[in-house]
Amino acid sequence: MQRVCFLLKVRADRVEEYRERHADVWPAMLDALSGAGWGNYSLFLRDDGLLVGYLETEDFDRARAAMDATDVNARWQREMAEFFEALDGSAPDAAMRPLEEVFHLG
């Protein structure tokens, strides 16, 4: 199982709305994530907008490609893009750069 952790930056003036949007994620999006192999997917948000994401999957590249193939993901990413800093034209999910795992107590 591959553990993936990544960082993104939510615009400080959009933090509360970002939290609200994630309190009620579309059921079709939840189904797509599960179906694509995104297990134990969590997002943690600091008040200044630092977003830490974590998930477990068999193959992150394959799981991301499976999500890229869904219409619901394209719609979600378009709606969420305005919440983030420094995407440089990328969708939020394309901007996820996994951090190197240096320790795991397993």
Q: 23 burial class (0-12, 13-18, 19+ CB within 10 angstroms)? A: exposed
Neighbours of 67 (CB within 10 A): 21
Annotated catalytic residue: which of 7, 12, 17, 22?
22
| End-to-end C-alpha distance for the chain, whole angstroms | 12
Q: Is 22 a catalytic residue?
A: yes
Q: Which residues are catalytic, by number?
A: 22
